[in-house]
Chains A and B, each alone.
Chain A
Amino acid sequence: MSYVQNTDADRAAMLKAIGADSIDALMAPIPPDCRFPGDLDVEPALTEDELVRHMKQLADRNVAVDDRPGFLGAGAYRHFCPSLVDSLVARTEYWTAYTPYQPEASQGTLRTILEWQTMMCRLTGMEVANASLYDGATAVVEAVLMAMRLKRGCETVVVSRGLHPDARGCLTTYCRSLGATLVEVDLVDGRTPAEAIAAAAGEGTAAVAIQSPNFFGAIEDVSALAEATHAAGALCVVATDPVSLSLLEAPGKLGADMVCGEATGMGNPPWFGGPGVGYLCGRMEHVRQMPARIAGETVDGHGNRAVVLTFQTREQHIRRTKATSNICTSQQLMALRATIWMSLLGKQGFVELGEVNLSRAHDAVQRITALDGWELAFPDAPYFNEFTLRTPLPAAEVNRRLLLDHDIIGGFDVARLPQCSGLASDNDLADDHLLVLAVTDVNSKDEVERLVAALEAMR
C-alpha cells in the first residue's frame, strides 16, 4: 500500500519537465559511496485490512484496563470522557494542522490554545499558562529550569520525595547535565514536613519542587511549604493533578510560583503513558522566562480580535543558544481534548466530578480498612482520589492474585519505585507492603465491591 498519488505517466511527465532521465538521476547528489544498494530489512507491505487485523492481534496481547476494573493511578488517572470530545478532535482541521505560525490561517488552533491557557490559569490560580509541554515529568523539569533562570546563580534544587518518581528521575538527569545540585527531602507520615524544606533550602536554592496530592496520594500543606520555600529565598514549584483542583485550593492562592503537571486525564486515554500533555502555569512577571508556546490576544489592522503566538523572542527559532528552552512544539491535540473536556464538564460539572472521585475513594477506603489486616499507610493524611494501603501480604502478591483470581488490575506496588525513577537511592522507599490505589469516577461502585471482596478473600 502506498499513499503516493503519482502515476507512472505523472512521473514521466515530471521527469521530462525537470530534464532528468530517471528518479535515480535525481538521487545523483547522494555520493555513490553513500548510497544504500539493498532492500530495507522491513517486512512486506500490508493492505489496510491486513493492517487492522495485525494491529488487533497485537492489541489483544495486552491486558488492558478497559476490559476489567483497574485501580492504577500513579501519575496517570483515567476519567470519564464525553463522546463529543472524540467527535470534535476527529475534525481533520485540528489534527492535520501544524504549529500556528500563520495566525490568519490558524485562528482555530490559536483560539483553543487561548481557551486552554485561560482554563488552566483558572484551575491553578495563576496568571499565565503555556500551550503545553511533553508530559508531567518534563513539565516539572521545565518549571525548575525556569526557576533557575529567574534565580540566576542559584544552582540547587530541593525536591520532595513525594514528587512522582518519573519527575524526580528526570530532574536528576537534567540537573546532572547542567551541573546543578539536587537535594531530596524525605516524607514523614506520607507528607513533606515544612521544617525539612526550611532545613534543606537556603542561599543558593533556586527552587523547591513539591507535589500535591503527592505520589502516595497525600495532600500536602502547600501554603506551609511555600512559606518555607520563600523564607529561603527560593521559588515554589507545585506539581498537581489538575482534576484534583476541582476540590483543592488553587496552588496560586497558596503561594506557588509555578504550577505544573500532567493533564492527560482530562479527556485523554492513558496510551501506555504517552503522548501525554504537560502543563505549566506561572506569574506574569516571570513570563519572559517561561518555556514553549504562549498564545496572546491582539487585534488586526481593522480592530478585529486576533490571537497570535506571542513573546516569541523567548523561543529557540529566534534566540537559539539563549532560548528559554529548546522546545518547539506543544502537545496541542492532547491539550485540545482537555480544553473541550473542561468546557463540557463546566464549572459545576467539574466540582461534581471531583466529589465523585472524593466520595468513591473514601468509600473504598472505608470498606477496605474495615477488613482485617488492611489499613491506610498514612491515616492522618487527607487524600483526594488516591491513597496508600499497608498490605497484609506483599503488594506484588496482592496485584498478582487480583489479576489471576479476580481479573482486576490492582494498584501501584511501592517496591517498584526505584525502577520507575531509575534512582538507586530510592531503594529505601521501596516498601514491598505498600500499595497505592486510585479510585476515580471510572471505578463504579460495583468495581469497588469486587475489589473489596477480592481483598477479603486474600487472607
Chain B
Amino acid sequence: MTTTDPVGATSATSGDGAGRGNGAVDVSRATTSTGGAAAALSVYELSIPGRRGVRPPPLGVDRVDPASVLPAGVRRAEPAGLPEIGELDAQRHYTRLSTLNFSIANAFYPLGSCTMKYNPLVNERVCQLPRLANLHPMQTDDQSQGMLEICWRTAEILKAVSGLDDVSLHPAAGAHGELTALMVMRAYLDDPGHPERGGAARKVILIPDSAHGTNPASCTMTGFTTRELKSNASGRVDMDSLAKVIGDGHDIAGLMITNPSTLGLFEPNIKLICEKIHAAGGLVYMDGANMNAILGRTRPGDFGVDVMHFNLHKTFSQPHGGGGPGAGPIAVRDLLSPYLPVPKIEHHGDGTFATVWSSEKSIGRTRGFMTNAGVMVRSYTYMRANGPDGLKAIADNAVLNANYLRVRLKDTFRVWIDETCMHEFVATAKGLPNGIKATDIAKRLIDYGIHPPTIYFPLIVPEALMIEPTETESKETLDRFVDVMKAIAAECEHDPETVRTAPHSRIIGRPDEVRAVKQPKVTL
C-alpha cells in the first residue's frame, strides 16, 4: 500500500530511517520493520559480560577492602546489575535512540498548551559555565553571589511581566507551583492573626471544566475540595454558574483559572470574576501555562489575580528535555508574600545578595535546596536576549501565528470556538468522514514529519486537536502544516484505512496499550 506525497511527507526531517521512499510515503510493513529488529535492542541486550565502558578514576590511595569497613549486613553481596557496554557501542546506542524522537530541532511541534518554541543555544552555553554548573547548593552566600544575583534578577523580571509584588523561585515545575501556591493560599486564609479571613470554613476551590488535570490534583494534595465551574457556549466562564457555585461565599477559598484559557481564549470577564471571588473572601490563582500569549500586553496583577505560576519551560524557553527539567515559580500580591516558602533571596542596598532562611509565617520548605538554578540561568538569559520589546514581540507573533493557522485551517477542520484566539486554538476531529478520530489525525501527522497537536484536551471539546504554533515558527512552516492537514483531511475521505492505521513511517506502529497495563513489563 502506498500513497502519494502531495506535501512532502517523505522529506520529514525526523525519521526512523525507515519508511522513506522516492517521492512516496511507503506505508508497507516490510519497510516499517526494516532495521527495526536491530534498532530495537536495549542497552542490556547489547551488554557483553566483561566488557568495559569508561574507566573510573584510579584509587589514588591504598585500597580499602569493603569487607573490612562495611558490616556483612549492609555490604552488597552481588554487584548491581548494570549493563556492560563499550564506549563506542554506547555512543551508537544512545545516538540511535535519539533518532527515534521527534523534537523541536527536527520537526514542527505544535503541541497545544506546551509552547514548544525554539530553544536558543546560547542558553545552553551559559548554563554550562563551570562557575554556574559547579556551584554546590550548600555553599554559603558569600561564595554564591553571582548565582543569587541571577536568580534575583529572574524574579524581578517575573514581577515586571506579572504585575505582582513578590516571587518564589522554589517550584520545580508548573504543577509544583500550583501546589506551593495552594499551600500559600491555605496559610493566608488560616492565619491565626486574621480570624476575619474565615480560614477554617474555606475549603472549596472553584475550577473551570476546561482546566488542566494538575489543577484538581493539586487541590486534593493540599486538602482542598474542588467545585466545577461550567463553561458557557463560547468557552468562557459562565457568570450565572459562577454566582451559583460561589453561593453565599463562606466556603470559598478561591478560584484556579487559566487565562488565556485552555481553549486559547482570553477571559473577557476576568476582572469581574476576580472581583466576585474577592467579594466572597476568596483568592484568585492563575495557571500561567499560557503566559506566552500576553507578555507585555496585559499583566495578571493588573486584572485581579492574587497568585500565579509561570512555566519557565514554556514561556521562557527552557528546553523540555523529554519531560523535564522545568520550573514553576510563583508570583504573588504582597498580601501573600509573608507565606511564601523559604529560603528566599534578598537584595541588599550595597549590591549584595543574601539567603533568607526563615520567616515567621512562611509555609516552610517545599523542595530540596533553593531553586532549579540551572533553569533560572537559561530563562534569565532568554529574557535578557529579548528585552522589553522582544518579550512583547513574543506574544504578538504567537497570537499572529495562531490566528493565521486558525483561519487557514477552519474550512477543513472545525474550530470549536471560532473567534480571534490568543496563542492557540482547539479544533475538533468530530464529524470527520469514515469515523476518523483525533488520534488518527495525530498519528497520520507523524508520517508527514510533524509532531501531533495535543489531543483529547481540553476535555470539554470532543475529539480535541489543540494547536499551538508558537512565535518562532515561520510562515512557510505554518503553510506546510496547513497543506498537510488538508491532505490528511482528503485521505480521511478517500483512503481512511491509511489514516486509521497510521503511522506507517516509524519504527513502531500503534502500540498495544492494554497489554502494557495487563501484562506490565516495567524493567528490561
Contact = CB atoms under 8 A, between A and B. Distances in A.
A105 interface: yes
Given A99-B323, A363-B61, A316 B387 contact: no
A327 B323 contact: no
A369 interface: no
A254 B72 CA distance: 12
B398 to A, nearest CB: 9
B278 interface: no
Interface in B62-89: 62-64, 66, 69-71, 73-77, 79-85, 87
A104 to B, nearest CB: 4
B257 interface: no
Given A3-B117, A296-B522, A359 B62 contact: yes
Interface stretch (B2-10, B47-55, B247-255, B425-433): B47-55
Interface stretch (A55-63, A154-162, A192-200, A450-458): A55-63
B102 A137 contact: no
Interface in A441-456: 441-442, 444-445, 448
Nearest to A305: B40
B263 to A, nearest CB: 12
Interface stretch (B157-165, B193-201, B330-338, B488-496): B157-165
Most A CB contacts (10 A, CB to CB) among B80, B175, B357 go to B80
A92 B165 CA distance: 36
Nearest to A2: B390
B144 A348 contact: no
Contacts of A360: 59-61
A289 interface: no
B135 A272 contact: yes
A241 interface: no
A94 B323 CA distance: 10
Nearest to A54: B384
A17 B407 contact: yes
A397 interface: no
Interface stretch (A201-209, A244-252, A370-378): A244-252
Given A301-B510, A302-B33, A10 B134 contact: no
B396 to A, nearest CB: 5
B217 A350 contact: no
B74 A222 contact: yes
Contacts, number: 736
A326 B214 contact: yes
Nearest to B512: A298
Contact of B508 (A28, A127, A248, A304): A304
A131 to B, nearest CB: 7
Interface in A113-138: 114-115, 117-119, 121-123, 127-129, 131-132, 134-138
Interface string A39-71: 111111110100110111111111111110010
A328 B303 CA distance: 28
Nearest to A315: B213
Contact of B130 (A63, A64, A299): A64
Contacts of B36: 304
Interface string B228-261: 0000000000000000000000000000000000
Given A298-B515, A310-B513, A247 B76 contact: yes
B146 A4 contact: no
A109 B161 contact: no
A249 B56 contact: no
Contacts of A101: 454
A98 B29 contact: no
A233 B29 CA distance: 54
A274 B302 CA distance: 31
Q: How many interface residues does chain B have, given as a range?
A: 35 or more
Contacts of A65: 134-136, 139
Most B CB contacts (10 A, CB to CB) among A28, A270, A275, A342 go to A275
Contacts of B119: 95-96
Given A97-B322, A127-B523, A343-B53, A104 B143 contact: no
Contact of A275 (B130, B325, B388, B471): B325
Interface string A414-431: 001001111110000000
Interface in B119-142: 119-120, 122, 124-127, 129-140, 142
B139 A63 contact: yes
A167 B266 CA distance: 40
B105 A333 contact: no
Contact of B53 (A349, A442, A445): A349
B80 A72 contact: no
A19 to B, nearest CB: 7
Given A173-B366, A178-B221, A1 B516 contact: no
A131 B323 CA distance: 9
Contacts of A297: 516, 521-522, 524
A72 B420 contact: no
A101 B519 CA distance: 20
A56 B122 CA distance: 12
A5 B125 CA distance: 22
A275 B374 contact: yes
Nearest to B300: A34
A271 B172 CA distance: 14
B321 interface: yes
Contacts of A137: 365, 367-369
Contacts of B271: 31, 33-34
Nearest to A272: B373
Interface in A208-264: 212, 219, 221-223, 245-250, 253-254, 262
Most A CB contacts (10 A, CB to CB) among B102, B107, B319 go to B102
A242 to B, nearest CB: 9
A391 interface: no
A64 B371 contact: no
A107 B506 contact: yes
A403 B515 CA distance: 58
Contacts of B81: 122, 347
A356 B57 CA distance: 7
B397 A4 contact: yes
Given A29-B268, A170-B368, A2 B507 contact: no
B396 A23 contact: yes
Interface in B380-417: 381, 383-394, 396-397, 399-401, 403-404, 407-408
Given A11-B400, A340-B90, A272 B147 contact: yes
B14 A93 contact: yes
A143 to B, nearest CB: 14
Given A272-B136, A327-B175, A363 B216 contact: no
Contacts of B137: 75-76, 270, 272-274
Given A17-B408, A304-B507, A308-B516, A173 B183 contact: yes
B524 A118 contact: yes
Contacts of A352: 55-56
Nearest to B186: A177
Contacts of B297: 27, 30, 35-36
Given A84-B90, A304-B36, A343-B90, A322 B220 contact: yes
Contacts of B73: 221, 223, 249, 254
A62 B508 contact: no
Contact of B226 (A27, A90, A321): A321
A336 B322 contact: yes
Nearest to A270: B136
B173 interface: yes
Given A173-B363, A345-B56, A349-B56, 5 more contacts: A41-B388, A51-B122, A170-B365, A276-B372, A331-B325
- 8 closest cross-chain pairs (CB), A and B: A273-B369, A45-B387, A273-B137, A333-B321, A92-B105, A275-B325, A61-B146, A137-B368
30 contacts: A6-B475, A27-B399, A28-B420, A33-B271, A41-B388, A43-B384, A43-B387, A57-B146, A75-B369, A76-B138, A95-B119, A97-B322, A102-B102, A106-B101, A119-B83, A177-B223, A247-B76, A274-B368, A274-B374, A275-B172, A275-B327, A287-B522, A308-B513, A310-B520, A327-B175, A329-B174, A356-B59, A359-B64, A409-B143, A422-B342
